[in-house]
Structure formats: structure tokens, C-alpha cells
Amino acid sequence: MPGKRGRRGSPGRRSRTARAELSFSVSHMERLLWEGHYAQRLSSSAPVYLVAIIQYLAARVLELARHEAQNSSRRRLTPELVDVAARSNTLLSDLFRTIAPSPRWPWPSPSCPTTPGSPAPRGAAIRRQARSPTDRTARVAQAWRRELRAAEPARSLGGPEPDAGHVSARRRRPALAPTCVSAPGSA
């Protein structure tokens, strides 16, 4: 019928994101560009181009992080894996050079003294070691906090509290011996 119009050939109303076949929002990027006052005038294609670049970079970094996770036999992407992937690529490392690194959990120090005379873990210690990786991460973080507390001058030297005029009702905890955990990069 010549007088009938269907929705089948007409595109209808589509967003700029859908027309450009992008995943990130073009209108959101345009708003950010306007609010940032980067220029007095703004082309209609500038936010589309910028969103396409950001989407490509995000896809590339996630692909590298996926390869990094497969190489380290992990099934979950973490911020640390994304950071390692972005910094291991030469082109992306130049781009991410000014970005502060994500906070990492401390790694066990390779210079830990493992003397032959030290007792092997038994019973409950072995069961504690067999827990999930998140439990191990929490234990490492706890050990790191204990080591930082032990490194404080007032606690490690047994000196007065920073505010010597104030007498605390709480009993002072004894200084803990430093554990065998160090921050990444320190030897």
C-alpha cells in the first residue's frame, strides 16, 4: 500500500552513540568537554572522536590485562593486573606515566630468612595456609600494618606517646617484631 509507512526501513530516532556504534556515551563526553571549558567552540564530531579513542584504549588495556591474567593463571581481572598490563606495554606506559600507581598489597620479601632450624607449620597453621587467596591477602595486609605500627618511633623505642601531657587510660601494647613482608620494589 503506497500510503502506509512502516518502521522497517526508517532508522527512527537514534542516539549519536548508537549511530557511531560506540559503547561509551557521546553526549556525556560532550557535556564534559563543555563543562571543562577546553575551547570556546566545539565541533559536533569532537566528542564522537574522543569517545572512540577512549573506547579503543579501554579495549586495548583490558585485552592486555586479560593476557596478563591468563599468563599468571588467574580468572579474575584486578586493578593490579590492569596496572601491570598498561605499564608493560611500551606505548601505553608512556601514556600512563603521569598516573599514580594503584595501591598494591605488599609482596613477601625474597630476602626472608628461612633457616633450616625453624619449625615447619603444623596443624592449624597448615589449615590457615590453605584458605582462599583473599584470606591470604588479608593476612599479608594485617602483617604489613603490624610492621608499620612496629616501625613507629614511639612504639618501637618504647618512648612516650606523641602527646606526653595527656595520660591515656589504655594500656600500651608492646612493640611487635617486624614480619617478613616488604613493599614491592624494596629489597
**Domain extents for the chain?**
15-104, 105-111+122-158+172-187
> Contact, 181 vs 140, CB < 8 A?
yes
Distance CA 59, CA 64 (A): 9
Distance CA 86, CA 88 (A): 6
Residue 57's H or E segment, with its range, is helix 46-71
Q: What is the pLDDT, as a whole number, of residue 143?
A: 74
**pLDDT by residue for the chain (187 residues), tens digit each?**
555 555 555 668 999 999 999 999 999 999 999 999 999 999 999 999 999 999 999 999 999 999 999 999 999 998 888 888 988 999 998 888 887 765 654 444 444 444 455 555 555 555 555 555 556 666 767 776 777 677 665 544 455 555 555 544 455 555 555 555 555 555 5
pLDDT 10s digits, 28-75: 999 999 999 999 999 999 999 999 999 999 999 999 999 999 999 999
Single out the residue of 98, 95, 61 nearest to residue 81, CA to CA: 61
Q: What is the pLDDT, as a whole number, of residue 99?
A: 77
Residue that is written with C-alpha cell 591477602 in the block: 137
The set of cell numbers assigned to 14 is 537514534
Q: What is the pLDDT, as a whole number, of residue 12?
A: 82
Single out the residue of 121, 181, 113 nearest to residue 146, CA to CA: 181
* CATH fold of the domain at 15-104: Histone, subunit A (1.10.20)
Q: What is the pLDDT, as a whole number, of residue 114?
A: 45
Cβ count within 10 A of residue 129: 11
Distance CA 39, CA 157 (A): 58
> Contact, 149 vs 176, CB < 8 A?
yes
Q: What is the pLDDT, as a whole number, of residue 97?
A: 82
Q: What is the pLDDT, as a whole number, of residue 102?
A: 54
Q: What is the pLDDT, as a whole number, of residue 95?
A: 87
Distance CA 135, CA 32 (A): 40
List of residues 6+ apart from 25 with CB closer than 8 A: 17, 51
Distance CA 70, CA 159 (A): 50
Q: What is the pLDDT, as a whole number, of residue 76?
A: 92
Distance CA 54, CA 48 (A): 10
Sort residue 43 into left (φ over 0), alpha (ψ -120 to 50) or beta. Answer: beta
Q: What is the pLDDT, as a whole number, of residue 79?
A: 86
Single out the residue of 52, 77, 51 nearest to residue 64, CA to CA: 77
